[in-house]
Amino acid sequence: MKVLIIGGVAAGTKTAAKLKREDRSIKVTVITKDQDISYAGCGLPYYVGGFIEGRDELIVNTPQKYSGLTGVEVRTGKEAVALDAAKKEVTVKDVQTGNTEVCPYDKLVIAVGASAAELPIDGKDLPGVFKMRTPDDADGIRTYAEANNVKKAVVIGAGFIGLEAAENLHARGINVTVIDFASQILPNILDPEMAAYAKKHLLNSGIRVITGTSAEKVLGSDKVTGVKTSAGTLPCEMLIMAAGIRPNTGFLADTGIEMFKGTILVDSQMKTSLDDVYAAGDCVMVTNRITGKRQWSPMGSSANLEGRTLAQVLAGTQKTYPGVLGTGVVKLPGLNVGRTGLTEAQAKEAGYDVVTALVPTDDKAHYYPDASFFITKLIADRTTRKLLGVQVFGPGEVDKMVDIAVMGINMGAKLDDFENADFAYAPPFSTAIHPFVQAVYVLMNKIDGTIVSMTPAEYAAGAAKGYRVVDVQPEPAIRGAFYVNLGQVNGEIEGLGKDEKLLLVCAKGKRAYFLQNRMRYYGYKNTVVLEGATFFNDVKVENAEGAVSKEEETRVKALGFLKDKRTPDKFNGRVITRNGKITADEARTIAEAAELYGSGEVTMTSRLTMEIQGVPFDNIEPLREYLMQAGLETGGTGSKVRPVVSCKGTTCQYGLIDTFALSEEIHERFYHGYREVKLPHKFKIAVGGCPNNCVKPDLNDLGIIGQRVPQIDLEKCRGCKVCQIENNCPIGVAKMSDGKITIDEAACNHCGRCVGKCPFHAVEDYTNGYRIYIGGRWGKKVAQGRYLDKVFTDKDEVLAIVEKAILLFREQGITGERFADTVARIGFENVQEQLLSDDLLARKEENIKAQKHLKGGATC
């Protein structure tokens, strides 16, 4: 039997390899348009981000290696252009020569996959515009970003590929904006409230996300410079089109094969409507395993499973493919997202009596280092109690939560089947009662009436109107709420009516449930627990007045909002301006934000950030959302690397270096790149263009000053009685000595003003460089920084010193002390020696992973 397979990536190569293992006598031929086969398409974004170093790591098998391993004949560079099912022939074109040939078959497998959709807009062919579908695409993106020093990129599409592309560009230090026509990110993958949480997280991580927006035109002449969208113009130096994919099935148009929107319809044995023609992978429409309805699920995982099943069918085994669950997982900065099964909306559409629960839990024993959280949304059928779907967020292994759900759904599990599941437990891995089981308990309690709750979606839709908010946290933290100390409730609660509608809110939901249970015993009839509590929801009490709690003050301070001490509930919000420079559009946005959410006043800080004055507490989150949509962020507080301050050395007549470019690079690498790294205290960086010290680099934790080191050619010195070099030295270190000009190297501040002043060119040559000060401080205790002995001439070496200084401070500083104190304590010479070697960089990963300085010393 001759089996011809069209397509050489996941489904095609899996079908061919398994078929040869099933029956070695079958002649199997794979034809593919590309030169590569069996490449890791899902790994492409991570190659762009540098997590996968070499392109060759993306190629699972070369054609030669694959043929040797499997016995399959592979013909690359061959494109299928026509199918004659009656004659059992495929017409194939050589992509290089254009020559065609006819390939006969006994059985045909179509595994042509899909290609990135191209938006029908002007400018899409400009240099700098890319798709993300093949190794060539990923190679092009990575090469272009490096060669053009790309700083701003736009990604069109907020699905899995678009978000993975954004995350990896962000990891390269590129400012990324993601736009999507849909009203939410990950449409049809996450429910709206889950998508809103993930979008907010992306914004907080520095990735701008604009939904409900369409791209209209790519701007630029010789390369992309921006994108015109329905929300305005977005400047960029790179554009990634990730707005979906389209099956590569155009050549089948006249064959009579049954299709739907370009996808090939197959039965449970992957057979098409044509005799002896089968299909698998991203080009086929299979079924949903739960509902049995048609579903397109173009994933590398399902493509491999479909191919394996199809191979067994072709070899004569009675097998069927049961369908897909739409399982997926995506890595975002600091948050992983996983899901499987039906969303709440899909389950309702399918006719189920839907009930859900959203449950934050610890992901491992809370006392174990690196313990974090899961946010789990379970979807089930109230009548049958069958699990229908799950969506999970968390910084850690969300896949293990999803995989438990996959097995449960595959086996038709009811919630009760998970109740006493004996999952693995040890503090480094899980909680004693598994996080998945904890979520199941909540949903079971909800179905059984043990807990009466309100979902975050219901809360966001206004279901809490008319309810009185009861704060059940260990300390009062919700302004305007009625506070109840759970540990002291042993009867009726003074101030709360038994028939009053009460919304019980704590940090994650557990204490509110405990209070509801207790209040029910004491006769309270209308209590409702808010699922997700303050951990997931932005809880506000309508018309709340009075002072903001200390806990909330601390929380919003970490977001860059400092309390106005003259008021009970107003704050001044710091807007980060990247060294004091902003665009006209950004300035307009800040002014608009000040009018909409603050007092209308904006002030400059000494660190060249901008503060929006008089922001009421309830306006903080809306203000941040407004600013983040424009690519602006608040912050600049806490025991972390602070925003960089810079002089205007680029335009100043004395400027020796491009201060804006250097400070922006430091801002991206260390303010953004180290945003999650806790330090013993704040760490301030200043960049000055010359030794005039306008931004006082020597009074910062680390300062960089532009240098111009003069080089004297004594043969050209005439020993003039009136020396122009001596006259032009502003600090008087250039002197005539024994008829020749001399410059005291130890005293010279390398301002460069002497260069070119000698009419006989004795001081014409110079070396541009950087001087680095460490250990400066301004405040209650003043410490003047001391410069390292070396004058640096390589910018990359300067950036490495900055990173090593931060790492040294984190590793060897004592919580609460400033860098100046660290330098004084361990000695300048010791610090200098460490900064000039690479040992700190070698320990970087271990250093950053360490649980240190969880409470630093910065109070502003």
- Identify residue 518 by its one-letter amino acid code: R
Mean pLDDT value of segment 798-820? 97
* Pair 369, 260 in one domain: no
Q: Are residues 236 and 128 in the same domain?
A: yes
Task: Give the global pTM.
Answer: 0.84
pLDDT at position 537, please? 95
* End-of-domain residue from the set 269, 285, 314: 314
**Residue 40: what pLDDT?**
72
Instruction: Clarify whether residues 288 and 225 are in a common domain.
Output: no
Q: Choose the weakest-confidence range: 24-28, 59-63, 517-521, 846-850.
A: 59-63
- Continuous H helices in 676-786: 724-728
Tell me the β-bridge partners of 30. Answer: 5, 74
Helix, strand, coil % over all residues of the chain, rounded to 5: 30, 25, 45
The pLDDT of residue 302:
95
Q: Output the CA–CA distances (angstroms, integers) from residue 661 to 128, 667, 674, in the order listed.
A: 22, 10, 19
Mean pLDDT for the stretch of residues 777-800? 94
Q: How confident is the model at residue 419 (pLDDT cuts 50, 70, 90)?
A: very high
Considering the domain architecture, whether residues 288 and 394 belong to the same structural domain is answered as: no
Give the integer Cα–Cα distance in Å for 266 and 333.
38
Q: What is the pLDDT of residues 454-500, one digit of tens each?
A: 999 999 999 999 999 999 999 988 988 999 999 999 999 999 999 99
Angle value at C-alpha 298, between 296 and 299, nearest 5 degrees: 135
Q: Is the pLDDT of residue 59 over 80?
A: no
Residue-level pLDDT at 779: 85
Q: Is 566 exposed, middle or buried (0-12, 13-18, 19+ CB in 10 A)?
A: exposed
726 within some domain: no
What is the CATH number for 600?
A: 3.30.70
Q: Which two tokens stand for residue 272?
A: 């098409």
- 672 is a domain residue: no
pLDDT at 777: 95
Q: How far apart are the first and last CA of the chain?
A: 76
Q: What is the largest CA-CA distance in the chain?
A: 105
Question: Which of 193, 215, 243 is the C-terminal boundary of a domain?
Answer: 243
Q: How many residues does the chain have?
A: 860
Check pLDDT > 90 for residue 513: yes
- Give the strand pairing for 765-774 and 786-787: antiparallel
In this structure, of 132-136, 257-261, 703-707, the range with the lowest mean pLDDT score is 132-136
pLDDT in tens, 360-400: 999 999 999 889 999 999 999 999 999 999 999 999 999 99
Mean pLDDT to the nearest integer, 401-407: 98
Domains in the chain, number: 5
Residues 44 and 151 in one domain: no
Residue finishing a domain among 536, 568, 603: 536
Helix (H, G, I), strand (E, B) or coil at 27: strand
Task: Collapse the DSSP code of 308 into the 3-class scheme (helix H, G, I; strand E, B; otherwise coil) and give the result.
Answer: helix
Pair 365, 431: CB distance under 8 Å = yes
Question: What are the CA-CA distances from residue 357 to residues 128, 372, 432, 446 (Å)?
Answer: 44, 20, 21, 8
pLDDT at 549 over 90: no
Tell me whether residue 23 is in a domain: yes
- Report if residue 797 sits inside a domain: no
Residue 575, domain member (yes or no): yes
| Pairing assessment for the beta strands 129-131 and 114-116 based on DSSP bridges | unpaired
435 with 463, same domain? no
Pair 496, 593 in one domain: no
Name the band, by pLDDT with cuts 50, 70 and 90, for residue 52: confident
pLDDT averaged over the chain?
94
> In this structure, what DSSP letter does residue 339 have?
E
Q: Give the pLDDT confidence of 596-649 residue by residue, as tens digits.
A: 999 999 998 888 889 999 999 999 999 998 998 888 899 988 899 999 999 988
pLDDT at 577 over 90: no
User: What is d(CA 263, CA 457) in angstroms, rounded to the nearest whole number?
Assistant: 34
Q: Are residues 107 and 159 in the same domain?
A: no
CATH number, domain of 528, equals 3.40.250.10
Query: What percent of the chain has a predicted confidence (pLDDT) above 90?
Result: 83
Angle, CA 172 vertex, CA 166 and CA 178 arms, to 5°: 20
pLDDT of residue 388: 98
Within a 13 Å sphere around the CA of 641, how many CA atoms are in the beta-carbon half?
26
| Residue at 548: amino acid letter | V
Q: What are the catalytic residues?
A: 42
Structural domain range at position 476: 454-536
Residues 159 and 10 in one domain: no
What is the H or E stretch that residue 560 is in? none
- CB half-sphere exposure, 700, CA atoms < 13 A: 28
Considering the domain architecture, whether residues 490 and 418 belong to the same structural domain is answered as no
H/E stretch holding 286: strand 284-287
Query: Residue 834 — φ and ψ, nearest 5°?
Result: -70, -40
Question: Same domain, yes or no, for 346 and 357?
Answer: yes
Q: Does residue 54 fall inside a structural domain?
A: yes
Asked if 251 contacts 283 with a C-beta cutoff of 8 angstroms, the reply is no
CATH code where residue 162 lies: 3.50.50.60
CA distances from 577 to 234, 581, 721, 847 (A): 18, 6, 51, 29
Instruction: Identify the H or E element spanning 569.
Output: none
Flag whether 445 is in a domain: yes
Please report the pLDDT score of residue 51 as a whole number.
87
Averaged pLDDT for residues 323-341:
96
Same domain, 586 and 528: no
Number of neighbours of residue 501 by Cβ within 10 angstroms: 14
What own/partner pairs with CB < 8 Å and gap ≥ 24 does 257-260 have?
257/83, 257/85, 260/285, 260/294
Closest to 579 measured CA to CA, from 688, 660, 691, 668: 660
Which pair of structure tokens corresponds to residue 683? 């760490």
Residue 376 lies in a domain: yes
